Chain A
Amino acid sequence: MSLNDIVFIALAGITLLAALGVVLSRNIIHSALFLVLTFLGVAGIYFQLNAGFVGLVQIMVYAGAISVLIIFAIMLVMDVEPDQTNLFNQSTPTIMAGGYVSVLLAAGLAGAIWFTKWPLSAVQVGDQGVEKLAGMLLGPYVVSFEVAAILLLVAVFGAILLAKGVEDK
Chain B
Amino acid sequence: MEHFFVNTAHALVAWLTGLGLAPGWADLILLVVQWIAVIIIVILNITVLIWLERKVSGFIQQRLGPNRLGPFGMFQTIADAIKLLTKEDIVPSQTDRMIFKTAPMVFIIISVMLYVVIPMGDGMEIVDLNVGLFYFISIGSLSTIALLMAGWGSNNKWSLLGGMRSVAQMISYEIPLAFSLLGVVMITGSLRMSDIVAAQSNIWFVVLQPIAFITYFISATAELNRGPFDMPEAEQELTSGAYTEYTGMRWALFFLAEYTNLVAVSALMATVFFGGWQGPWLPSWLWIIIKTYLILNVFFLIKWTFPRIRMDHLMSFSWKFLIPVSLANILLTGAGIEVLMRMGW
What is the total of A-B residue contacts with beta carbons within 8 Å? 66
User: Are A60 and B137 in contact (CB-based, < 8 A)?
Assistant: yes
User: Are B141 and A65 in contact (CB-based, < 8 A)?
Assistant: yes
User: Are B130 and A52 in contact (CB-based, < 8 A)?
Assistant: yes
User: Are B24 and A82 in contact (CB-based, < 8 A)?
Assistant: no
User: Are B142 and A29 in contact (CB-based, < 8 A)?
Assistant: no
Choose the segment among B56-64, B145-153, B202-210 that binds chain A (4+ C-beta atoms closer than 8 Å): B145-153
Instruction: Please name all residues of chain B whose beta carbon is closer than 8 Å to the beta carbon of A127 when the two chains form the complex.
Output: 129-130
Instruction: Please name all residues of chain B whose beta carbon is closer than 8 Å to the beta carbon of A12 when the two chains form the complex.
Output: none
Which of B98, B134, B167 is the one whose CB lies under 8 Å from A56? B134
Instruction: Please name all residues of chain A whose beta carbon is closer than 8 Å to the beta carbon of B149 when the two chains form the complex.
Output: 33
Among B96, B135, B138, B167, the most chain A Cβ lie within 10 Å of the Cβ of B138
The distance in angstroms between the C-alpha atoms of A62 and B149, with both chains bound, is: 16
Interface size for B (C-beta < 8 A) is: 27
B126 lies within 8 A of chain A by Cβ: no
User: Are A36 and B145 in contact (CB-based, < 8 A)?
Assistant: yes
Choose the segment among A66-74, A102-110, A116-124, A143-151 that binds chain B (4+ C-beta atoms closer than 8 Å): A66-74
User: Are B144 and A68 in contact (CB-based, < 8 A)?
Assistant: yes
For chain A, the bracket of interface size reads 20 to 34
Q: How far is the CB of B324 from chain A (nearest CB, A)?
A: 15
A136 lies within 8 A of chain B by Cβ: no
The distance in angstroms between the C-alpha atoms of A36 and B103, with both chains bound, is: 13
User: Are A64 and B142 in contact (CB-based, < 8 A)?
Assistant: yes
A130 lies within 8 A of chain B by Cβ: yes
Q: How far is the CB of A23 from chain B (nearest CB, A)?
A: 17
- A130-B130, A130-B131 in contact; A71/B148 too (CB < 8 A)? yes
Q: Which residue of B lies closest to A29 (CB)?
A: B152
Instruction: Please name all residues of chain B whose beta carbon is closer than 8 Å to the beta carbon of A52 when the two chains form the complex.
Output: 129-131, 135
What would 27 A/B residue contacts be, using CB atoms closer than 8 Å?
A3-B24, A3-B28, A27-B96, A29-B96, A29-B99, A30-B98, A33-B149, A36-B145, A52-B129, A52-B135, A59-B141, A59-B142, A60-B134, A60-B141, A63-B142, A63-B145, A64-B138, A64-B144, A67-B145, A68-B148, A68-B171, A72-B164, A127-B129, A129-B130, A130-B131, A130-B134, A130-B191
Which residues of A are in contact with B by a Cβ distance under 8 Å? 3, 27, 29-30, 33, 36, 52-53, 56-57, 59-60, 63-65, 67-68, 71-72, 75, 82, 127-130
